[in-house]
Amino acid sequence: MYVAVKGGEQAIARSLELLAEARRGDTAVPELELKQIREQLRLGVARVMQEGSLYDEELAALAMRQAAGDMLEAIFLLRAYRTTLPRFGYTQPLNTSAMRVRRRVSGTFKDIPGGQVLGPTYDYTQRLLDFETTSPVEVSLADAPLPSNVPRVLDLLDAEALIERIEPGSDPEPIDLTREPLTFPADRATRLQNLSRGDEGFLLGMAYSTQRGYAESHPFAGEIRMGEVDVVVCPEELGFAIEIGSITLTECQMINQFHGGNGVPPQFTRGYGLCMGEGERKAMSMALVDRALRCDELAESSYAPAQNQEFVLSHSDSVEASGFVQHLKLPHYVDFQAELSLLRTLAAQHAAHLQTPPSASPQEDGKAGPDAACSQEPDPTPTLPCAQGREQFEAVKT
């Protein structure tokens, strides 16, 4: 519990002034234009859009500038802003098969129909700081464009029935976590919405843990594609579908080993990741975690953190996580006073007990021996909650 604290208005006003001054920096240096952020920090803009769960480059650039480059703060600003806008509806499902591909690679097949297209990637850079100012680059043009519908790599395996097929089925209306709370167990569509909004660092760590043995998914990057996808809506006023623009997406299809079971023959299974803008690390992490979270559906033994959907989905959101961690800065004066008072009482009792001669108690009460006095003392080796948790974890594991 914390109580309302009055006063401090002037100090808060001064703090906001200091924040504004610090954000702007040296006024002799021109202020960043949103267009500069959008054009030259596009990967940062993409991350803020993805985790802010709002595709709008202008707003994401504005949030980054206002947050002075603190990405989590920018994500928070975008999430807060979206609540002020009316919801017009739901788009038709994005058709990533018809993506106008600018990058497309596979870690499983060398010769894929349509070819491996590297596109703009840091993969082949030396990671050496370049102190030269960047000058405009003359980009090479191929004689012909890429095919308009680049086939999916996983369809090659599908032809041999060696990979699970994913079809819409009855195409149920998915749960929308912006309108309904997260409940467990969460189905795969709900989990994917949560992971889409999830913090890249958290998902990267979780994904890494699955590769290091905390889940048995044995992954291959079947296909990663990046490019532009049309957004199609069907407004009631029209009664027919129209394109309303295009967005950049990165999609990752992970292929994972599966030995069969539950009446299913041995075949590869899939993990799926989708990300706004160029977000390969996020899309790959999402795909690995998506696959790990399918352990129950595939009747796999489940013991690792990345397979525990309550653990993963409850802690993936950076806005919630940073809010709860940082709320500790708020006044907890009354809470702390109560704790302080309790601790002073206990310390006084402890001191009084040490000063009492051990022989005194048996004379006062014949039934109470030294053992009784000892039982008042705190256990010298208490079982810590984390130690208990570890025991439970080990028990589940074996």
Partner 1 sequence: MDTSPHLARAQWMSLLAQSDPAELAAAMDGFAPPADLTWLRPAQTGLYMLRGRVGGTGPQFNFGEMTVTRCSVQAGDHIGHAWVRGSNARHAELAALADALLQDGEQNPSLCRDVIEPLRRALHRRRDEASRKAAASKVEFFTVVRGE
Please report, as residue ranges, which positions from 57 to 96 form the binding site for partner 1 (by CB under 8 A).
58-59, 82, 85-94, 96
- Residue from 43, 80, 118, 346 in contact with partner 1 (CB under 8 A): 118
Q: Does 189 bind partner 1 (CB under 8 A)?
A: yes
Task: Identify which range of 103-111, 334-342, 350-358, 371-379 contacts partner 1 by CB under 8 A.
Answer: 103-111
Residues 252-271 that bind partner 1 (CB under 8 A): 253, 270
Q: Is 53 in the site for partner 1 (CB under 8 A)?
A: yes
Residue 216 interacts with partner 1 (CB under 8 A)?
no
Residue 122 binding partner 1, by CB under 8 A? no
272 binds partner 1 (CB under 8 A): yes
Stretch of 16-24, 239-247, 259-267, 302-310 contacting partner 1, by CB under 8 A:
239-247
Q: What's the closest the beta carbon of residue 52 comes to partner 1, in angstroms? A: 8
Question: Which of 80, 166, 264, 338: binder of partner 1 (CB under 8 A)?
Answer: 166
Buried b (16+ CB within 10 A) or exposed e, 242-278: eeeeeebbbbbbbbbebeeeeeeeebbbbbbbbbbbb
Q: Among 1, 9, 20, 110, which residue sits at the site for partner 1 (rule: CB under 8 A)?
A: 110
Interaction with partner 1 in 277-336: which residues (CB under 8 A)? none
Question: How far, CA to CA in Å, does 57 sit from each of 52, 165, 224?
Answer: 11, 35, 23
Residue type, 66: Q
Residues 6+ apart with CB under 8 A from 165: 158
CB of residue 72 to partner 1, shortest distance in Å: 17
CB of 384 to partner 1, least distance (A): 40
Work out whether strand 269-276 and strand 219-233 pair parallel, antiparallel, or are unpaired.
unpaired
Written as six digits, the tokens of 109 are 């097949």
Looking at residue 334, its amino acid is: V
Q: Which listed range, 47-55, 69-77, 200-208, 329-337, lies at the site for partner 1 (CB under 8 A)?
A: 47-55
Q: How far is the CB of 95 from partner 1 (least distance, A)?
A: 8
Cis peptide before 357 (omega within 30 of 0): no
Report DSSP state, residue 17: H
Rounded distance, CA 93 to CA 91, Å?
6
Q: What are phi and psi of 12, to 5 degrees?
A: -65, -45
CA-CA-CA-CA torsion for 68, 74, 77, 81, nearest 10 degrees? 120
Cα 341 vs. chain centroid, distance in angstroms? 40
- Own/partner contacts of 62-66, CB < 8 Å, gap of 24 or more, are 62/34, 64/37, 65/32, 65/34, 65/37, 66/23
Closer of 206 and 249 to partner 1 (Cβ): 249
Closer to partner 1 by CB, 114 or 362: give it.
114
Phi/psi at 289 (nearest 5 deg)? Answer: -70, -40
The residue range among 12-20, 38-46, 107-115, 301-309 that interacts with partner 1, by the rule CB under 8 A, is: 107-115
Q: Is 230 in the site for partner 1 (CB under 8 A)?
A: yes
User: Among 72, 101, 283, 298, which residue interacts with partner 1 (rule: CB under 8 A)?
Assistant: 101
